[in-house]
Structure 1
Amino acid sequence: MQTEIYQSLLADLAQDIRKSRYQAARAVNEQQLLLYYRIGRTLDEKILAAGWGAKILDQISDDLQRKIPGLKGFSAQNLKKMRIFYQSYPDLQPFLIGSTVLNQLEKNELCSNSPTFSQYVNVDTFLEIFKGLGFSLHFRLLSIKNHAERWFYMTMAYKNQWSFRMLDFHIDSGYFQKQGKISHNFDFSLPEEVRQQTAASFKDEYLLDFVATEPGSERILESEVVANIKKFILGLGKGFAFIGNQHRLMVDDQEFFVDLLFYNRLLQCLVAFELKTGKFQPQDAGQLNFYLNVLDDTVRLPHELPSIGVVLCKEKSNTVVEYAIRSINKPMGVSTYKLTTEVPSSMKDILPDPEELAKLL
């Protein structure tokens, strides 16, 4: 057996299986979302036509349980959420429940008359993103009344595969308002043409929801991040590739180690993270500045932009940060981290179990 041929075969099969599973999961998610939208529309139309009160949802839920024993995810509370979901997007009905396939001209005409679509050019892209998010994420998004802000979170959740917890965290922390608000010195340490993009690539606060308890040291925190590096990269955003942890730097026969080293393909530069389990201290900036100098001299390639550093700490004073990094000419920022958030109890029973959903679909 030729090892290279066999390994190539194995890789191809594994990739095909993963791709198929991902597509199947997306298809189930989309069908579930459309089911909830249809149920919401039916409930809304029938309740209004018959003049029924809010208590009718309790009766409908109980009767559904009798018709489909063991049915989960269709409590009166969840039926109410499905109705609210439909009421929030009634203008999407031709796209989500249309009996015929719409051509591009018809899509554009409906789009121009739709308050949901009025600010978006590409209808197909909007629908891809809209149908690519789960119902629990959509219902969380309904708390945002500003369409531009809601679309921002919708797009970010889709592109970065945010979980409910990640979306909830970013909404609560005001990520939309804080874009580019990380404490930094990019305005005088980077070329003008990349400053805005660089600031937008980093966050003021990161959610480390895979760390269950407060880490006792930077090394423990680092090991948790490395063990969950895929989740950490998804939380960082687009373009990040992990190079390694405890990346060794040699200076005059002395060893120094960068906690976490990444490369950002969009920014075309190395990104060094230093982890601190306590409050930011001025000396943290000095340590990171040293690492960035060494990285630029010994690791950075000629075509790459200057290396960027981020101190990721538990707490910070923005005033202390400003004084600490003001005179440093290497691009760096200071962010905080939050460990975990609880899923609200109102959302825990929002989905039926997978077996029940498969039967329904």
Structure 2
Amino acid sequence: MQSTLHDYQQLLADIKQRVRAAQYRALQAVNQEQMQLYWELGRLIAERQHQQGWGKSVVETLARDLQAEFVGVSGFSAQNLWYMRQFYLEYSASEILQPLVGEISWAKHLLILSKCKDPQERLFYTLQTRRNNWTKAVLLHQLKAQAYQKTLLAQHNFSATLPAAQQAPATLALKDEYLFDFLELSAEHSEYELEQALLGNVRRFLSEMGGDFTFIGNQYRLELEGNEYFVDLLLFHRELQCLVAVELKIDEFRPEYAGKMNFYLSLLNAQVRKPHEQPSIGIIICQSKQRTVVEFALRDINKPIGVATYTYTDTLPQELRPFFPSNEELVRRLEAVTTALKGPA
């Protein structure tokens, strides 16, 4: 009897999984059909406007006629028709964006279209939305937090310490600055208070860190020769298949923080890492940093470490503008990021 019940529960779980997968595929198909329709409507309006000089009144008339014909079907307002035209004109002109038309919903496309003007930036958010199944609210938060810029600015030594296959996804796992605007902390707070506040908002913390992070523990105990050491936060990155040690600092980055993290990673690799997992990665999150100091501190470290800062506001500091990559470096970083984003969804 118990065996029969167990077999039934397995069958039920399998059927539920298949139903959910079928529902997801159906929703994807519906979205792709809708996006194809909007793309074609945008193309027709753009062509008529170019060939016959269609203006505002013609599009408004078209909107009224479509709404009268398809009662109860949303999406045919004059404003939305103009958005379709803009979407078609801007995305059809880009080789990297045109193939992504059916990847995310119309509402999310419009959000990216309105907030981003650079094709590479639009590519980043479109693929990240698809990859992490971002809701519209999460996408808006990431746009406000300038996730694209902060990914390009991130400081790490991954190119020197990770295999080529891991470098691109590891780059996506790190931001130059994390936005903890969900925390209620005074200007003067301790590392303990910061850690406890993050633990109390662990879902939002993991969302800000990135879609593939999972939480393992805080003050994770390591032991060597009778001495105890504690990692502030221990996470796991699903795609990278590795442990991620996070150290929280409420002051400016110091070079010795990198040496301490290097030591922690050695212990994690020797004592905690599973045989099938990749080498551990470290992230040091400080209140501030001098970029040149970080660069030299990581130069001869042999473990993969990134150094970031945290803030409560969603504005990229003006003083970071000079550190944006050159055109050549920008292309190289974007290629690495795009390669990672175009991996398995």
Q: TM-score, normalised by structure 1?
A: 0.63
Counterpart of 1:256 in structure 2: which amino acid?
F
Aligned to 1:158: 130
Structure-2 change in CA distance of 1:337 and 1:71 (3 Å): farther
Secondary structure of the structure 1 residue equivalent to 2:55 = coil
The root-mean-square deviation of aligned C-alpha atoms, in Å, is 4.3
State whether residues 244 and 262 of structure 1, in contact with CA within 8 Å, keep that contact through their aligned partners in structure 2. Answer: yes
Residue correspondence of structure 1 range 181-330 to structure 2 within 5 A: 181-186=153-158, 190=161, 196-197=167-168, 200-205=171-176, 212-214=182-184, 217-226=194-203, 229=206, 231=207, 235-236=210-211, 240=212, 242=214, 244-246=216-218, 248-251=220-223, 252=226, 254=228, 256-263=230-237, 265-266=239-240, 269-275=242-248, 278-282=250-254, 284-285=257-258, 288-301=261-274, 305-313=278-286, 315-322=288-295, 324-326=297-299, 328-330=301-303
Q: Is the 8 A contact 2:222 2:228 kept in 1?
A: yes
**Cα contact 1:242–1:263 (8 A) shared by 2:** yes
Preserved CA contact (<8 Å) 1:248 1:256: yes
* Secondary structure in structure 1 of the residue aligned to 2:148: coil
Q: Report the equivalent of 2:324.
A: none
Question: Kindly, what percent of the aligned residue pairs are identical?
Answer: 36
SS at match of 1:262: strand
What's the offset of the Cα at 1:310? 0.6
User: Is the 2:38–2:84 contact (alpha carbons within 8 Å) kept by the matching residues of 1?
Assistant: yes
Distance change >3 Å, CA 218–CA 323, structure 1 → 2? farther
Q: Quick one: structure 1 residues 6 and 258, their matched pair in 2 at CA, closer, same or farther if it must change by over 3 Å?
A: farther
Question: Residue 217 of structure 1 aligns to a residue in which SS?
Answer: helix
Q: Greater CA deviation, 291-300 or 159-168?
A: 159-168
CA-CA distance at 1:132 after TM superposition: 1.9
- SS of the aligned residue for 1:256 comes to strand
Which of 87, 91, 97 is residue 85 of structure 1 equivalent to? 87
**Once the two structures are superposed, what CA deviation does each residue of 1:182-220 show, in whole Å capped at 9, x if it has no partner?**
2224455x26756844753433346668x6454563222
Work out the CA distance in 1 between the residues paired with 2:261 and 2:231. Answer: 11
Q: Could you tell me whether the CA contact under 8 Å between 1:261 and 1:272 is conserved in 2?
A: yes
Change (3 A) 1:322 1:18: same
| Aligned equivalent of 1:334, options 293, 307, 320 | 307
**Which segments of 5 or more consecutive residues in structure 1 lack a partner in the other structure?**
91-114, 121-125, 343-361
- 1:259: how far off? 1.1
CA contact (8 A) 1:152 1:176 kept: no
Residue deviations 1:30-61 (CA, integer Å, cap 9, x gap): 22212322332343345556544224444544
Aligned partners of 1:69 and 1:193: how far apart in 2? 54
Please, which moves more after superposition, 170-179 or 281-290? 170-179
Aligned-partner Cα distance in 1 for 2:41–2:235: 48
Q: Deviation digits for residues 6-29 of structure 1, max 9, x if unmatched?
A: 331232132123212212221221
Aligned length: 301
Taking structure 1 as reference, are residues 311 and 7 closer, same or farther at Cα in structure 2, changes over 3 Å only? farther
Task: Evaluate the alpha carbon distance shift between residue 232 and residue 137 of structure 1 in structure 2; reply closer, same or farther with a 3 A threshold.
Answer: same
Which of 81-90 and 22-31 deviates more? 81-90
1:43-62 matched pairs, under 5 angstroms: 43-47=45-49, 51-61=53-63
Q: Is the 8 A contact 2:232 2:248 kept in 1?
A: no
- Structure-2 residue corresponding to 1:348: none
TM-score by length of 2: 0.66
Cα deviations across residues 146-186 of structure 1 (Å, max 9, x unaligned)? 6666555544443333444655646983737954x422244
The 1:132/1:259 distance shift into structure 2, 3 A limit, reads same
Distance in 2, Cα, partners of 1:275 & 1:57 = 55
Which amino acid in 2 is paired with 1:220? A
Structure with the larger helix share:
2
SS where residue 109 of structure 2 aligns?
helix
